[in-house]
Amino acid sequence: MDKHSIVVDVHYHFFPIIPEEFIDLLTGEIKYGLQKRGEAPDQETLRKLARETLIDPDGRLVKARDKRLGVDVTCINITDFPLPGVDADLVLRSNKTAADLARQNPGKMFAFAGVDPRRPAAAEIAKTCLEKYGMVGIKWHPDYGFDPTSPEAYEVLKVLDSAGGILLTHTGYLPGGRCKYTSLSLICDILVDFPELKVIAAHMGKTAWHEWAGLAHDFPNLYGDLAVWSRYADRNYEFFCRQLRELTFYAGVEKVLWGTDDPFENYTVPTERFLTMMRNLSTKAPRGYEFSEEEVDLMLGGNAARLLGVSH
């Protein structure tokens, strides 16, 4: 592996255990992506795709995908759905499966625990995942309806901070999500109250990236990932190049991490295409917004490798 070409995906959704009654919950993301590509599959087709390409009890799908794309390291994250029927036992079993997969693939996979802070004993669940299972961080979805600066959320963050873990938290709008809880101003409060905590703002706020970039400039432990930015790049590559270059002028290229939001996002823009568009930044970005090969390598994996402590 060339020391400048490591590829790290910091944002991959891993679904080892999904009860049958929640299959339709997963099909919505597939349907969204396919509709963006002009396709309109029926619900049974969507369910079949979900079972075959999303549910991954032994990690076979993510390992095959990484090998096919040439992804060296993947951060697999568990989503804690605050739904009836998703109890603490199911959450712990899902998190342990992810942790076991990461332990079986040292240096190749890192596991982020899904822990909704509204769940009873959420702090204890977080402690189990981080200290007993050896997971490296926590993945949050405040858009599901919780304030990431609430007292119960801070109890989880205290555990995470004590363990030296990383917070990967959704920022920006999401169809059907409660966007007021994904505001970068809430991330600012977390960074002030937990100055040693490393935080990855998933999606960099999406179209609110200016606010993320300003915060990333001022807070050394704030990073952002490029998950779903594949859509911007695919729609208008020159505009994507300008936006990405401009945000690095504020935040620094060292704060940008490559992420995909797979396996969902591959249905909207094939991940192989996104990787190609990223690698083409050093040769195809418009004049005035150029990227060096070194900068591209840092965004594709060098920065994340440093954050995760991966030797490359």
Write down the domain spans for the chain: 8-18+55-306
Which residues make Cβ contacts (< 8 Å) with residue 126, sequence separation at least 6? 113, 115, 138, 156, 159, 160
| Digit-coded pLDDT (tens) for 105-138 | 999 999 999 999 999 999 999 999 999 999 999 9
Mean pLDDT of the chain: 95
Instruction: Report pLDDT for 89.
Output: 94
Say if residue 60's pLDDT is above 60. yes
Residue closest to 32 by CA, chosen among 272, 209, 238, 264: 264
Region 3-15: what's the mean pLDDT? 89
Distance, CA of 64 to CA of 172 (rounded, Å): 30
- Fold topology of 8-18+55-306: TIM Barrel (3.20.20)
Region 90-96: what's the mean pLDDT? 96
Instruction: Report pLDDT for 31.
Output: 93
Which residues make Cβ contacts (< 8 Å) with residue 76, sequence separation at least 6? 12, 13, 14, 59, 62, 98, 101, 102, 109, 110, 111, 112
Instruction: Report pLDDT for 312.
Output: 63
Greatest CA separation found in the chain? 54
Say if residue 192's pLDDT is above 90. yes
Distance, CA of 164 to CA of 162 (rounded, Å): 6
Instruction: Report pLDDT for 85.
Output: 83
Distance, CA of 28 to CA of 70 (rounded, Å): 28
Q: Is 13 helix (H, G, I), strand (E, B) or coil?
A: strand
Q: Counting beta carbons within 10 angstroms of the beta carbon of residue 303, is it exposed (0 to 12), middle (13 to 18) or buried (19 or more)? A: buried
Instruction: Report pLDDT for 2.
Output: 46
Say if residue 3's pLDDT is above 60. no
